[in-house]
Structure 1
Amino acid sequence: MSGTPARVRALTARSAILSVLLGSHPAQAPAGWIVRVGTGLGLQESAVRAALTRMVAAGDLERGADATYRLSERLAERQRRQDRAISPDPRVWEGGWILAIVTVGAADSTDRAAFRETLRLARFGELREGVWCRPDNIAVELPGAARQRVSLFTGQPEEPAITLADRLFAPVRWAERARELLAALGDAEAMGTRFAVAAATVRHLLDDPVLPPELLPADWPGQLIRERYEMFVTEFQGFAANLIETKPLPAR
């Protein structure tokens, strides 16, 4: 048992639906099954149905004629980022760094915040305003519009690479949070609680900078937390399969 419980967001109908569909390939499911999953996780049926309606209105989901719900294209892109975070594909690091220099400024504060988040999700760290960088051990994946706003360079810093990585990405802090989530997943017994911890784990993996091994602290938990998450996915698939075998609820 862990001494300090991990901070995990309370499971809501919306977050449960998103997590289920983001983890499904293809990212769609019948309404009745989604409701059964939600109630199986401890949510109220009325809350799940209301969340489906609100999510369609907000553009998060699309509803087919057969009462099947699927992720909107915006959230389908989030699923692709999530898949890459769960199974990253780093290459051998040869000591170089990628610099992304912002050449097209933001239109307003909202645009600036969104653009910064895009660079962060691409696993860049902010060296100073308008200058972002990271070790050159993964492919740079920026949306087309964002790519047109930066110039990319490669080079090597004068500052020791491990010191720079610590300053930009705080890997020790990431590892501490990962260990909290590992302990919480091991401690949790109810499926709803385990599901909430697994959802928090995915969010944490999206923040993994995927640094080269040479720049990581000892006992890095990145691979272990991915393995434990995949174990939960298998467990959840069994839970969901049992729900599929039951009599379906009306779609409404």
Structure 2
Amino acid sequence: MADDLISTRALIEAMLRDDATIDAGDLYAVGNALGMSDQQIRLTVKRLVTEGQFTVAGRGRRAVLTATGETISTITPDRELVHLMYSQDRGGAQWDGVWHLAGFAVPESARDARAVLRDTIRSLGGAAVQGGLYTSPHAWEPELRAAAREVDADRFLTTLTCSDLDVGGRTGRDAAAHLWPLDELAAGHTRLADRAASTLDATDTADRNERLVMAVALVAEFTRAHEDDPLLPPELLPADWIGARARSLVDAAWAALSAAEPESTIRLLRWYDAR
């Protein structure tokens, strides 16, 4: 089962257990099933050890990798973000109708700071309204100000809020559809829904390694689908939004995988559980 969405490094991080260790036997078995060679896995492990992110005791498939404290903190998923996804899907996080806007005009002499601000806005799901002006339905001011201060650009950043955003005559759902690439986002969530459905169908008859392979692949698809998703509130999305349906299927797939591996200490099986 070759899957180019999954890097060797992502696989290694996904195999982390509750005690911050990784069983190399499981790692190689799952990696091989995903089309990765032993040498590919071995070289990545060696690089991560050299970088100080893991230590290794033993050799080959009998080895045990242990993550450093800093590594553990960086690869743990954002549980608050996962909670927001499912809360919005289930009507537990209603939008207050407030648009958050940010604008900046950074001189050419500080173009690196301009890039930082632009990248931060994009990472927070902001969309460009027009040159130098961006918006999001989510409060983002603390994160934007913190990023600006880090590059001494706070004086260039302007933030404001409004409840009557009009983009070329478009408001509400029409404005959101104009500002964000909803068709592309929907395509990604359709792929996620298909992956989750196939995982759900196959879990009961799969063996342990097959279930781990499916879990790693599901995480990769989940990550890809949400990478550029601004998580717009339902009030700004089309009715029966595929993102909500995809996440519902993912939740069911995680529940099935976890139930099939009740003794497993691999954290991946519980990372994205909606509960």
Whether TM-score is above 0.5 comes out as: yes
1:146 match? 147
1:36 match? 26
Report deviation, 1:47.
Answer: 3.3
- Aligned counterparts of 1:96 and 1:70: Cα–Cα separation in 2: 41
Counterpart contact for 2:117–2:144, Cα < 8 Å = no
TM-score between the two structures when normalised by the length of structure 1: 0.70
Identity of aligned residues (%): 21
2:83 match? 87
Where in structure 2 are the equivalents of 1:1-252 lying within 5 Å?
Answer: 9-21=4-16, 29-31=20-22, 33-41=23-31, 42=33, 43-58=36-51, 61-63=53-55, 67-70=65-68, 72=70, 76=73, 79-80=76-77, 82-88=78-84, 91-102=93-104, 104=106, 112-136=114-138, 138=139, 142=143, 145-148=146-149, 149=154, 150-155=157-162, 156-159=164-167, 160-187=171-198, 189=202, 190-191=210-211, 192=213, 195-237=216-258, 238-239=260-261, 241=263
Partner SS state of residue 9, structure 2: helix
Partner SS state of residue 166, structure 2: coil
Partner SS state of residue 18, structure 1: helix
Taking a change above 3 Å as real, the CA distance of residues 127 and 83 of structure 1, as seen in their structure-2 partners, is same
Q: Could you give the per-residue CA deviations for residues 222-249 of structure 1, whole angstroms, max 9, x where no partner exists?
A: 33322333344445555594588xxxxx
Counterpart contact for 2:102–2:135, Cα < 8 Å = yes
Q: Could you give the per-residue CA deviations for residues 124-151 of structure 1, whole angstroms, max 9, x where no partner exists?
A: 1122332210124x56562664153433
2:197 maps to a residue whose letter is G
Unaligned runs of 5+ in 2: 58-63, 203-209, 267-275
Report deviation, 1:182.
Answer: 1.0
- Aligned counterparts of 1:163 and 1:78: Cα–Cα separation in 2: 36
RMSD: 3.7
- Aligned counterparts of 1:101 and 1:120: Cα–Cα separation in 2: 13
- Aligned counterparts of 1:240 and 1:37: Cα–Cα separation in 2: 19
Report deviation, 1:44.
Answer: 4.2
Counterpart contact for 2:102–2:159, Cα < 8 Å = yes
- Bigger relative contact order, structure 1 or 2 (CA pairs below 8 A, ≥6 apart): 1
- Who wins on radius of gyration, i.e. which is larger? 2
- Aligned counterparts of 2:42 and 2:20: Cα–Cα separation in 1: 13
Partner SS state of residue 142, structure 1: helix
- Aligned counterparts of 1:197 and 1:86: Cα–Cα separation in 2: 15
Partner SS state of residue 226, structure 2: helix
- Aligned counterparts of 1:218 and 1:186: Cα–Cα separation in 2: 21
Counterpart contact for 2:106–2:114, Cα < 8 Å = no
Counterpart contact for 2:5–2:220, Cα < 8 Å = no
* Matched residue count: 228
Per mean C-alpha deviation after superposition, the further-off stretch among 202-211 and 227-236 is 227-236
Partner SS state of residue 219, structure 1: coil
Taking a change above 3 Å as real, the CA distance of residues 20 and 30 of structure 1, as seen in their structure-2 partners, is closer
